[in-house]
Structure 1
Amino acid sequence: MAFQTPVTVQEVLAGIHEKRYLLPAIQREFVWGTDQIRQLVDSLMRGYPIGSFLLWNVEPDTASHYAFYDFLTDFHERDHPYATKATVPSGRSAVAILDGQQRLTSLNIAVYGSHAEKKKYAWWNSPDAFPRKRLYLNLLEDPDHEELSLRYDLRFLTDSEAQPQPGEPAKWFRVGDVLKLENSGPALMKALKDRGVDLNEVDAHQRLYDLYEAIRVTKPINYYLEGSQDPDKVLDIFVRVNSGGTTLSYSDLLLSMATNQWEEYDAREEVRALVQELNTGGSREFSFSKDVVLKTALMVAGVDLRFRVTNFTQDNMKKVEKVWSTTRAALLRAATLLSRFGLSTRSLTAHSVVIPIAYLLASKGLDDSYLDSTASAEDRVRLQKWVNRSLMKRGIWGSGLDTTLSRIRQAIDAHGASGFPVEAVQAEMAAIGKSLEFEATEVDELLELKYGGQRTFPVLAMLYPGLDLSKVFHEDHVFPRSRFTRKRLAEAGVAVPDIDVFVAAVDRLPNLQLLQGQANVEKQAVLPAKWLDKAFVSEEQRATYVEQNDLDVLPEDIKEFMDFYEARKACLRDRLQQRLGVKASTAADTP
C-alpha cells in the first residue's frame, strides 16, 4: 500500500466524471445529509484537513469478476437515492474507493450536483415534496449564528430561492460555478461585478477566493493506493477502515457479503428494487429499509439472526440466496397485508413487525389467496389483532429484536397448521419479557394518546375492528380542532378557566375516531351533531354509526364538550378492556 501525491478537489472530481474512480459493490449507500456536506465544504474553505482516503487499484482480470457503481451526482430521496451500476469495459482496470466514499460523494453533489429530500410534513407521493436544491455560498454575509460551527454561510437552496430581490446584488453564488472561473484574479473580480457586488466589499472577494482555493488550488485529497488483487485481503481492509465514522452496519456488511458471494442474483440491485416496491408499489406507502429486508432474508433462510462476522459465511450467504425469491414474494404480501390493515408510513411505528408476517407466509407456503380468501379471513383477523397489540404495547420491537424474532420463528415452525399461531407466539414472547397482555393502568395510558401519535392508529383500529381499513381512513377529531382556539372558544361561551382544559383535551383519544378519507374532507370544521344530521340518508344508518363509534353522548353545543369527552372516555375504556381482555377494575381492587 503506497501513499500517493495529493490532488485537488477539482482533479478528483474530474476523475469521477471521467469514470476513472468507481465504487465497489461492497460499499454502503450514500448516507450523509446536507449538514455534513456543508460542514465538509466549510472545512475545505478554512484549509482544514479532511482525512486521508484509501483507493484500490483493480487490474483488468480482477475487475471483470466484480460489480462497480458510479458516484451519485443528483441525489433524490425518493426517485434517485442510489448510485447506478457502472460498466467497466473488458480489458480495462478500475480504481475503487475503499474509504472516503461519503466525503467524495458529498463533494460531487456540492460541486456538480443537487440534493432533493422530502419536505417536513409533505406527502411522499406529492410532486412538490422533494425540491431540488444546490449548494450556494453567501458572498455578502456570514452565518446568522453559530449553526453547525460554520464560518461560511453555505446553504442548499432551490435556484429560485437563490435569486436576488429586485435591485439587490446576487449574493448567493452556486458552489459549482467556481469551476467556470478562469482564474482567481480578474475573472473572480468580474464575477463579483456581474453580480452587482461592490468591488470594495473585501469580505465578498475573500469568500469567493477561499472557495476557489479550496476547490481548485489546495491539494487536500491525500490517499493510499492498495494494489493487492486478493479479494479476502481487500474485504478485510474495507471492514477495518470502515469501523469508524458512520459505522458499517449489520445490513451494510451483510449486503456487502451477499453482493460478492451470490451467484444467480445481484444482491444489491435486488434489495434496492424490493425496498422501493415495498414502500411505493400498488397503494402501499411505507418507509421500510434494507435492514428489514435483509433481516427477513436471514429469518426465512433459517440462519442465525445475530450480527456476528462469523455468521456471514459463504454457506449462509448461499442459503439466503436460495430462498431469495420466496423471501421477496413473502415480504410483498406481508406489506400488502399491513396496508390492508390500514397501516402506512405514518402509523407503522415498528417496521420489524413485517418480518414475522413474511416468515409465516414463506414458511407455510401461503400465496396470494391468503390475502383475499374467505377461508383465511379468520386467521387474518387474528393476525391483525396481534399486529395492533404489538404496536400498542411499549418495548416490543425495541431491544432484543433478534431474540424476539428467533422465538417467534420457533413458535411458527412448531405449529403444524398453516395459520398464525397467536397463542404460541405470544407465549414465546412472554417468556422473554415481551408479553402482549395489558393491565388496566396501561389502558388508562392509551386513553391519553394524542392525534398523530405513534400508537394512536393501532388503538383506534383495535377499538373499531369492523372498519374496512383497506380503504383510506384518517384519524379525525370528533369535535373539529379548528374550533378550539382560545378566541373561538371564548366566543362560543366557554368559561375562561375552562379554555385551557378544552385545548388540552381536543387532540386526545376520546375526541378521535377513524373516518373514511372523503368523509373526513367533507366534514371539515362542522360540529359533529350537525354533520351527523347531513351525512346519513336514513335514521337507521345514523344510529348504527353513532353506536359503532360511541357517539351516543354527543352534545349539540361545544360548551358541553368536556361532558362528552369524559363520557366517551369511559365508553372507550370499557371497549378497550374488553378488546384486550383486561379485567375491569372495581372498588374491591382499589387499595
Structure 2
Amino acid sequence: MSILIDNSISIYEALQNIKTGKYVMPAFQRQYVWSMEQIEKLWDSILLDYPIATFLYWHVDDDNVTWDTYFCNFLSNVTFDSRKQADSTNYELTSINVKVTDTAILDGQQRLTSLYLSLLGDAYIRQKHARKKISGGLVTKLLIELNKNKLDVDEEEYNSKKYDIKFSEKVGRLSPTQFDIKSILNNKFQNESTREKAIEDAIANVPSDSKQYARDVLNKLYQKIFVEKLIRYTEITDMKQDDALEMFVRFNSGGKALRKSEITMSILEAYWPSAKTEFGKLLVDSYAGFGSDFIIRSALMLYGDVVKSNISKKIADELKNNWNTFKKALQDLDSVLRGMKIEVSRFSSSWNVLLPIIYFIYYNPDYAKNMEGIRSYLLRAILFTYFQSGTTGKLQQMKSNINSYDYEITVDMLNQMNELRVTDGKIEDILNSEKGSRVAGEALYYLSLDWINKNFIYEQDHLHPYDRFDGSKPVSVSMEDWRRWRSSRNRLPNLQLLEGRSNGSKNDMRLVDYYNDMNDEQKAEFCKQAIIPDDTSLELENFEEFYEKRKTILADKLRTLLG
C-alpha cells in the first residue's frame, strides 16, 4: 500500500470530478445524514477561512478492484424533512469503468455531498404532513444575505454562523439583497473580464453602506470555490477492498464513530434494501434482545467467511433468497433450546455460541436426532468460556469440524477438540469459580434447570454465609483450616441459586438455622434444589466435610451435563 500526502484541489474541481463520475463512494459508505443547518455551517466555515479537514481518497484501478466490487454514485438531490434532516436514501450500486472512475471517497462523503448539493445538485424540503419517502418536495435554495444591516446572526452565541447563510424554500420571493450561492457558477462570474460587472449587478439593490461588504463576500465566495485549493486529501493506492473497509472504520471522522458491523449493515442494505425491515420482523419475541449483528454474523457463518466478516453480493443474495429457510433455522433453534428448558433470550448478548448450532440445524434436516451433541457443545462452550477470545477463528473451526463430521455436532467431535474436551482440570476450574463470575452463574443456572421457574429472578447465594467466616472461628477448628475455609467460602461448592426474595430474608442466617426453620416438605425441596449431600452436618464447624462432599456431587453432575 502506498500513500500520497498533501494533494489539494479546489472545491469546483472536486465537484466536477463527482459530476463526471471520476469520484464515487464505496458500497460500505453510510447514508447521507447531514442536516440543512450543517450544510449552512460548512459554508460559513469556508467563508471564515476555517479549514474543512482532510479528505481520505482510495485510488481504484484494475489491480485492486474486481468486477464484483460495487460502488455508489454521489447523490445529486436530497429531500429534507420538516425538521430539515436528510431522508435516508438507498444508494444505487454500480460497477465502475476505471478509465473514467479512479477515486473512491473513504472519508469526506458528507462534506462533498453537501458541497455538491449546494452548487450542482438539488435540495428539496418535504412539507410537514407530506408522506415520508416520497422523493422531492418544495425546491429550496442556499442563500447568503449581502446587506450587512440585515444579518441575522448572534455574535455572542457559541458556534453560531457569522454570515447569514440559510436554505429557503421561498424561491419566488427572494429578497433583492439575497444571493443564490449556486449563481456563482454562471460564466459571467467565472470569466475574469466580466466578473466585476457581474458582481456589481448582483449587489445593485444592496444599500450603499453595505456595498463593499457585499462586494467582498462575492469575491471571497469566488475565491473559495474556484481558486483556493481547499480540498486537501490523502490518497491511498494499491489497496484491496478488505483493507479499504478496515481503513474506513479506523479513519472515519464524520461525527459518530462507526463500528465495522454498522458499515457491514450498510453494505448489506445496498444489495438488499429491505434487509433492515425484514430483520426487524425477525428480531421479536424470543429474539427481541438480539441485534442485526447477530443476523449478519449468522449469514457469514452460513454462506461466507466468518473470519473476514465482509458482506459480498453473493452472501447478501444468499441471505435474501434463502430468507425463509434462515428464519426457520432460528425458529428451530428456539424450539431445540426450549426442549432443553433453556431460553434463547439468555444469549442476547452472547450469541456467538449459538452460531454453530444454527449452522448444524440449517444444513442438517435430521438435527433433531442429535440433541445430545447440541447440548454437550452448548454447555461446554459456555462453561469452558470457549469464545472468550479468538471468536471468528473458533467459529470457522467449528464450521470446518461440523462439515468433516457430515454436518453433525457429535460428542466424539467435541472430544477431538482440545478446548472443548472434558478434562479433570476444566471441571476443577468450574468448581473453583467464585460468586459473581460468569462461569459460576452459568454453572448454577444449568445445574438448576430442572426446577428453575422462568418467571422468577434468582440470585447467587452462599449456603454457609460469607460473613460467618469473618467472625470467631469454631473452637474445634484449627487456624490453618479456618484460613483454608475462608478462601473456599466464595467458590461454587458453597453457592446455590435462590429466588431473590428468599435470598433477602435468608441474609446471613446460619445454614443449619435456615434449614431447621423449614417443615419436612420444604427441607426435602431445599436439599434437592441446593444439591445438599446426604447425612452431612450443616453446622459451620463441619464446613470442610460439607464442602468436599458437595464438590464431588457437583463434579459428577457437571460431567453428566457436559456429556
**What TM-score results when the alignment is normalised by the length of structure 1?**
0.50
Q: CA-to-partner distance for each residue in 1:348-406, whole Å, 9 max, x for gaps?
A: 8842111122234434569xxx9xxxxx6x85565334311111124456322342242
Structure-to-structure mapping, 1:312-331, within 5 angstroms: 312-331=311-330
Q: Does residue 99 in structure 1 map to residue 101 in structure 2?
A: no
Q: Distance in 2 between matches of 1:50 and 1:387?
A: 52
Q: Quick one: structure 1 residues 365 and 570, their matched pair in 2 at CA, closer, same or farther if it must change by over 3 Å?
A: closer
- Give the SS at the match of 2:389: coil
Aligned to 2:374: 383
Q: Distance in 2 between matches of 1:332 and 1:402?
A: 21
Q: Distance in 2 between matches of 1:249 and 1:402?
A: 20
Q: Quick one: structure 1 residues 548 and 58, their matched pair in 2 at CA, closer, same or farther if it must change by over 3 Å?
A: closer
Which residue identity does 1:291 align to in structure 2? Answer: D
The count of corresponding residues between Structure 1 and Structure 2 is 380
Aligned to 1:458: 442
Aligned to 1:438: 422
Q: Does residue 529 in structure 1 map to residue 512 in structure 2?
A: yes
Match of 1:511 among 478, 490, 494: 494
- Give the SS at the match of 2:250: coil
Q: CA-to-partner distance for each residue in 1:414-441, whole Å, 9 max, x for gaps?
A: 45xxxxx433xx51x555x455222212
> Are the counterparts in 2 of residues 250 and 307 from structure 1 also a CA contact under 8 Å?
no
Q: Does residue 245 in structure 1 map to residue 251 in structure 2?
A: yes
How far the C-alpha of 1:293 sits from its partner, in A, is: 1.7
Q: Quick one: structure 1 residues 550 and 57, their matched pair in 2 at CA, closer, same or farther if it must change by over 3 Å?
A: closer
Aligned to 1:401: 394
Q: Distance in 1 between matches of 2:333 and 2:80?
A: 31
Alignment RMSD: 5.4
Q: Quick one: structure 1 residues 498 and 524, their matched pair in 2 at CA, closer, same or farther if it must change by over 3 Å?
A: same
Aligned to 1:257: 267
Structure 1: 5+ residue stretches without partners: 6-22, 31-46, 74-82, 89-96, 104-179, 189-211, 227-234, 371-375, 416-420, 582-591
How far the C-alpha of 1:510 sits from its partner, in A, is: 0.9
Q: Distance in 1 between matches of 2:348 and 2:312?
A: 33
Match of 2:410 among 422, 428, 432: 422
> Are the counterparts in 2 of residues 342 and 473 from structure 1 also a CA contact under 8 Å?
no
Q: Distance in 1 between matches of 2:355 and 2:74?
A: 40
Q: Quick one: structure 1 residues 383 and 521, their matched pair in 2 at CA, closer, same or farther if it must change by over 3 Å?
A: farther
Which residue identity does 1:389 align to in structure 2? Answer: R
Q: Does residue 359 in structure 1 map to residue 343 in structure 2?
A: no
- Give the SS at the match of 2:329: helix
How far the C-alpha of 1:260 sits from its partner, in A, is: 1.1
Q: Quick one: structure 1 residues 386 and 295, their matched pair in 2 at CA, closer, same or farther if it must change by over 3 Å?
A: same
Q: Distance in 2 between matches of 1:444 and 1:337?
A: 29
Q: Quick one: structure 1 residues 485 and 411, their matched pair in 2 at CA, closer, same or farther if it must change by over 3 Å?
A: same
> Are the counterparts in 1 of residues 469 and 486 from structure 2 also a CA contact under 8 Å?
yes
Match of 2:524 among 543, 550, 556: 543
Q: Distance in 1 between matches of 2:478 and 2:153?
A: 68
Q: Distance in 2 between matches of 1:550 and 1:53?
A: 64
> Are the counterparts in 1 of residues 359 and 399 from structure 2 also a CA contact under 8 Å?
no
Q: Distance in 2 between matches of 1:385 and 1:471?
A: 26
> Are the counterparts in 2 of residues 478 and 528 from structure 1 also a CA contact under 8 Å?
no
Which residue identity does 1:59 align to in structure 2? Answer: S
Q: CA-to-partner distance for each residue in 1:285-320, whole Å, 9 max, x for gaps?
A: 85x4533321212334x44434176xx443332112
> Are the counterparts in 2 of residues 529 and 554 from structure 1 also a CA contact under 8 Å?
no
> Are the counterparts in 2 of residues 296 and 327 from structure 1 also a CA contact under 8 Å?
no
Q: CA-to-partner distance for each residue in 1:494-543, whole Å, 9 max, x for gaps?
A: 998777655543321011123345544554444333333445x5x25633
Q: Distance in 2 between matches of 1:530 and 1:98?
A: 68
**What TM-score results when the alignment is normalised by the length of structure 2?**
0.52
Q: Distance in 2 between matches of 1:422 and 1:531?
A: 43
Q: Quick one: structure 1 residues 540 and 422, their matched pair in 2 at CA, closer, same or farther if it must change by over 3 Å?
A: farther
Aligned to 2:431: 447
- Give the SS at the match of 1:358: helix
Q: Distance in 1 between matches of 2:536 and 2:387?
A: 36
Higher relative contact order (CA 8 A, sep 6+): 2
How far the C-alpha of 1:478 sits from its partner, in A, is: 3.6
> Percent identity over the alignment?
21
Q: Quick one: structure 1 residues 405 and 270, their matched pair in 2 at CA, closer, same or farther if it must change by over 3 Å?
A: farther
> Are the counterparts in 2 of residues 475 and 514 from structure 1 also a CA contact under 8 Å?
yes
> Are the counterparts in 1 of residues 512 and 538 from structure 2 also a CA contact under 8 Å?
yes
How far the C-alpha of 1:102 sits from its partner, in A, is: 11
> Are the counterparts in 1 of residues 493 and 550 from structure 2 also a CA contact under 8 Å?
yes
Q: CA-to-partner distance for each residue in 1:249-291, whole Å, 9 max, x for gaps?
A: 66445423321112xx5223444665x53xxx35x785x4533
Which residue identity does 1:351 align to in structure 2? Answer: W
How far the C-alpha of 1:216 sits from its partner, in A, is: 5.3
How far the C-alpha of 1:240 sits from its partner, in A, is: 7.7
Q: Quick one: structure 1 residues 409 and 472, their matched pair in 2 at CA, closer, same or farther if it must change by over 3 Å?
A: farther
Q: CA-to-partner distance for each residue in 1:15-65, whole Å, 9 max, x for gaps?
A: xxxxxxxx99944699xxxxxxxxxxxxxxxx99894357985114xx7xx
Q: Does residue 59 in structure 1 map to residue 76 in structure 2?
A: yes
Q: Quick one: structure 1 residues 449 and 48, their matched pair in 2 at CA, closer, same or farther if it must change by over 3 Å?
A: farther
Aligned to 1:119: none
Structure 2: 5+ residue stretches without partners: 1-7, 13-24, 33-48, 58-72, 91-104, 112-151, 164-228, 234-240
Which residue identity does 2:274 align to in structure 1? Answer: D
